[in-house]
Amino acid sequence: MSTSNRREVLRAMAVAGSVGAALAVGSETAQATAPRSRSPQTQPPLPYAPDALAPAISARTVDFHYNKHHKGYFTNLAKLVTGTPLASASLEEVVLASAGKAEMKAVFNNAAQALNHNLYWQSLTPKGSAPSDALAAAIIRDFGSKAALEGELTKAAVGQFGSGWAWLAADAGKLKVLATMNADTPLTQGMTPLLVIDVWEHAYYLDEQNRRADYLTAILPLLDWAGASLRF
């Protein structure tokens, strides 16, 4: 981490006073409703073997995605926050403390990308799964059917211009589908992310080249609705 970047982080945190104070100057909506989970600033293990999602996602893609891209965000974040009050914060706290602050853009990008990827791997499971009764009822209430919800997720993912994410999130109990650019996350909008689909090209290019729609078709049966139910 360069001396100038370290000064930027320390200056931003000095204004906030502490991690808690930094969160207090963020979005009022996010403060009121965003979950305060304690995801550590260490990369969690994959929840399945690298080849477990094949043929939808090859072991080669999983290995490259997890061990290069995902790991790289944790490595970069550690360099940025070492020696600052954020070094002991959870990923969620770092994301909320740095969101919208130009001087902490690099911190936000790496923390949010680390956190987003954590959820991406948790959003998939080798044989797929079914939602709980509570989530299934909410899906019917807000989308009419699970198929309609999957259609909205596909539309959001395929329609996202450039790099980003397609999300299913809960906003005060109501389900919403949305897309975000780059490292952005519904967490900063006070929502609870339930499922996410990575539409950065590194998520699918080795398998599908530029055919993002084919990637969506392949992974929809692998979505872990049981995991989303627990987060819901």
The reply to whether 70 sits in an annotated binding site is no
The reply to whether 117 sits in an annotated binding site is yes
The reply to whether 198 sits in an annotated binding site is yes
Give Cα 147 distance to the centre of its chain: 23
Q: Which residues contact 216 (CB under 8 A, 6 or more apart)?
A: 153, 154, 157, 158, 197
Q: Which of 115, 146, 110 is nearest to 128 (CA)?
A: 146
- The amino acid that residue 105 corresponds to is K
Q: Which residues contact 155 (CB under 8 A, 6 or more apart)?
A: none
d(CA 184, CA 57): 24
d(CA 78, CA 107): 9
Q: Give the DSSP per-residue string, 163-221.
A: SEEEEEEEETTEEEEEEEETT--GGGGT-EEEEEEE-SGGGTHHHHTT-HHHHHHHHGG
The reply to whether 202 sits in an annotated binding site is yes
Annotated binding site: 65, 117, 198, 202
Annotated binding site for Mn(2+): 65, 117, 198, 202
